[in-house]
Every structure is written in structure tokens, then in C-alpha cells.
Amino acid sequence: QVQWMESGGGSVEAGGSLRLSCTASGYTYTFSSMAWFRQAPGKEREGVAGINSEGDTAYADSVKGRFTISKDNANNTLYLQMNSLKPDDTAMYYCAAKIKYGGRPLESSDFTYWGQGTQVTVSS
């Protein structure tokens, strides 16, 4: 069973930055892809950024140019650097992983393993 440790969330003013991290442990298989999703109150979960085993990345249009996803394979850690934050970025952020290859990079239904979430709040 995959165990997750997420950190880096918090409260910032608009224009500020945060860096989320998510470390996975307790598994022996290889993830084909990892990603960050977010969900704001009253809204559907949306894909924010994803990265596959080859290092290819994908971003939601709303965060392109502001967010950067990366991973440290040696430490099984996924990162999300968030710059120029906006109040609309306020949400619970979740890291996720999948084993199966293929499918859309930010399709939440394709992801099997989910972190517990970390809250990001951006004030205007």
C-alpha cells in the first residue's frame, strides 16, 4: 500500500509562491505518471500538472507559465512550484500516481493512488 507524505501548503497573498512536495513510500512498483490535482469547495477536482516516467510534463491552461512540476526519482518525491499565485488557485491540492501507461495525463479517473491533500489559500 502506498503511503504519502504531503507538505508545503499554506496561506499566501496574491503574487506569492509556494512549493508543494509529496513523498511516496511503501511500494515496489513503478509509477507511469504522477500528477497534482486540486479541488476547491463546490467545484470539481481538476488536474493541475502531470509528469510521466520519461519526464514529459503537462499543465492545465490556468497554471501554464506559473506552476512547474518536477520529481526526484531517487527520493520518490514529487514537487509543484507555484509562482504568481492568484486567489483562484485556492484549493486542496492532492498528489496522485498511476501505474498503467496511456490515457490523458490529467485524467483523474486514471489515477489509482492519492495523497491526503494539502491546503493552499491565496488571499487578494
Tens of pLDDT, residue by residue over 59-71, are 999 999 999 999 9
pLDDT of 85 over the 80 cut = yes
Which stretches within 27-90 are classed as H helix? Answer: none
Q: Which is higher by pLDDT, 28 or 114?
A: 114
Q: Which is higher by pLDDT, 103 or 115?
A: 115
Question: What would the mean pLDDT of 32-50 be, rounded to a whole number?
Answer: 96
Give percent above pLDDT 90 in the chain: 82
